Every structure is written in C-alpha cells, then in structure tokens.
Amino acid sequence: MLLDGFLIIVGFVLLIKGADWMVNGSTLLAKKNRIPDLAIGLTIVAFGTSAPELVVNTVASFENHSDIVLGNIIGSNNFNLFMILGIVGLIFPIVVQSSTVWKEIPISFLAAVVFLVLANGYLFSDIGLSRIDGIILLLMFLLFLFYIYKQMKSDPSSEEVVIITASNYKIWGLIVLGLIGLVIGGKLIVDNAVTIASDLGVSEKIIGLTIIAAGTSLPELMTSVVAAMKKNSDIAIGNIIGSNIFNIFLILSVSSLVNPITFSSVFNTDIYLLLGGTLFLFVAMFTGKKKTLDRWESGVLLLVFIGYTTYLVGKELQ
C-alpha cells in the first residue's frame, strides 16, 4: 500500500509537470506561428489547466471506473469552490468584476444544474451520462467558448510583438514530454487509487472525491494562491469559476463519449453541495462589501468543506 501511495504521488508530479511542459511548448509553437494570444488563451491555456482532470477521467472512463470519473469532477469543483476560494479569500478579500457576478458565476451554477438533470435522467429516461448527454455537454462547452470569445473581443488588449528564439526541437520536445507525463501520470493515479480503495475497503467514490480531486486541483490551487499574493483578484476567481465550468462541460463530455458513465444517486448530495456553494458565492457578492468575497465569507466556505469532507470520510470508515 505504501508503494501504491508513492506511485500516486509520482503520478501527480508527472501530471502537473506534464501539463506545464505541454502548455509551455504549445504556447511557444502558437506564438512562433503568429497565432493571437486570444486563441492561445481560449485553447492551449484552458486545456492545460484542465489537463489533469481530463487525463485522469479519460483513463478512468476507459477502464469503467464511473465513480472515480464522477468523484473527480464533483470533488474537484467542490475543492475549487470551497477549499481554494476559502484559502485565497482569507489571504486577501477577492474583488469580483460585474461580468463575473452576473454572467460567469450563474453559468457555473447552470453547468451544475445541467449535470444534475442529465445524470439523474430528468431530461431523458436513462440515469447516467450517455454519449448523447456527452454531445449535449460538449455543445454547451462550445457555446461557452464562443461567449468567452465575444467577451474578449469587446474588451481588446494591445498586442505585443513577441520574438521566439526557442528551436523547434525544444518546442516539440516540451509538447511530447508533456503528453507522455500526462498519460503516464494519469494511469498511475487511477490504477493505484483503485488498488488502495480495494485494500482499505474504501469506495472509489470517496477516493475520487478526496485524494484524486485534490491532486488534480493542485494547479488551480497554486495559480489562485499566487494570484492572491499578488492581489490579482481577476485571475484568482476567474481561474476557479472557469475551471468549474470546463470540468463539467468539457471533461464530463469527453469522459461520457469515451464510455457511458453509470451514475449513483449518492452523488446527488455532493452536487447539491456544489449548487449551494455556488449560490452562496453569488449571494456573497451583495453582502458585506459589494462584489467582494470577504474574509468571513471565505472562512464559511473553508469550514463547510472541512466539515463535509470529515463527515464523508468518517461515514465511510464506520
């Protein structure tokens, strides 16, 4: 079991470094070919921040571990919302733009509602996420990308001429090494997490909601904490809200297209928690200091997450 735990840590290191190498290499390649920063941000960087969840879920879906697929996404979103925003908001109160309050936060709430509806078969008769559901989620992801594109076009920033001196060998080396790191890391995490769950008699749901979810959210945690230290609120909260939307619309769509996902109603409580947390975040924009996530509100998010996670693990070990 110690070896399995060590291999999971190795997997997370490979996953995070792989995403970093792939994003760096792809960005250099895009800039060298004069692809606009807008396109780079919408595609390469967005994919890179979601790469850990995407790879882990693709592997888990291919190997028919539906509880890990669902646990990773729901757990990652709750970790992002409660844990990361809680920590970041305690470091420095987060000032939120009007567009985030009135558009991005409601979109993230809508994503969770769509997930709840599709997974429980409220729209179609079948419970779970079928390939048709995957197509619906993918279409919504494309609509979200179009929305981001329109938002950025309405607020253009000046373009700088960037000279890239890196050789093609270095660029492609980073991309290839990144992809290899992602694939091997994702495989190590899923396989060894399943082994640990089996050895401990713990469900794959709990492993997905806790260990895997926290591990795949490390890039968001580091990005948001650094942004908070630099008092860059836009990156701190935009990173979290955007990631939660991407996880549901993109990662779940790909996962269900790889293999239809079996859904257990026990996950509904975790989705309700996500919906409640997102609604709390929206309401927090109008309490205390307007359009700001205050420290006490961040503390509430953090305490709720710690309390709920403790309850989940305690219940599982009974």
d(CA 123, CA 88): 37
Counting Cα atoms < 13 Å in the Cβ hemisphere of 221 gives 17
pLDDT at 201: 79
Nearest Cα residue to 237 out of 50, 112, 38, 93: 93
Question: Counting Cβ atoms within 10 Å, is residue 174 exposed (0-12), middle (13-18) or buried (19+)?
Answer: buried
DSSP-derived secondary structure letter, 129:
B
Nearest Cα residue to 86 out of 312, 310, 307, 293: 293
Handedness of CA 37, 39, 43, 46 (dihedral sign): positive
Consecutive H or E run containing 94: strand 94-95
How far lies 251's CA from each of 46, 92, 183, 262, in Å? 12, 30, 15, 15
The single-letter code of the amino acid at 127 is: I
| 38: its two tokens | 């807008």
pLDDT by residue for the chain (318 residues), tens only, comes to: 788 889 888 988 887 787 778 777 877 877 777 665 545 544 565 666 677 888 889 989 999 999 999 999 999 999 999 998 999 899 888 888 787 788 889 999 999 999 999 999 988 778 999 999 999 999 999 998 888 777 766 655 545 555 667 788 888 888 888 878 877 887 888 788 878 877 877 888 888 888 888 877 877 777 677 777 777 777 677 778 888 998 999 999 999 999 999 999 999 999 999 999 999 999 999 987 888 888 999 999 999 999 999 998 888 777
What backbone torsions phi and psi does residue 95 show, to the nearest 5 degrees? -85, 130
pLDDT at 224: 75
The 10 Å Cβ neighbour count of residue 106 is 14
Nearest Cα residue to 69 out of 193, 182, 218: 193
The 10 Å Cβ neighbour count of residue 92 is 18
Distance of CA 200 to the CA centre of its chain: 27
Number of domains in the chain: 1
Helices (H), 154-232: 168-200, 204-207, 213-216, 218-229
Domain range holding 95?
2-317
Query: CB under 8 Å to 204, separation ≥6 — which residues?
Result: 65, 67, 68, 71, 193, 194, 197
pLDDT at 38: 47
* Residues 274, 278, 279: CA angle, nearest 5 degrees: 115
CATH of the domain at 283: 1.20.1420.30
Query: CB under 8 Å to 316, separation ≥6 — which residues?
Result: 202, 203, 206
d(CA 39, CA 19): 18
Nearest Cα residue to 74 out of 210, 222, 253: 210
CB of 75 closer than 8 Å to CB of 209:
yes
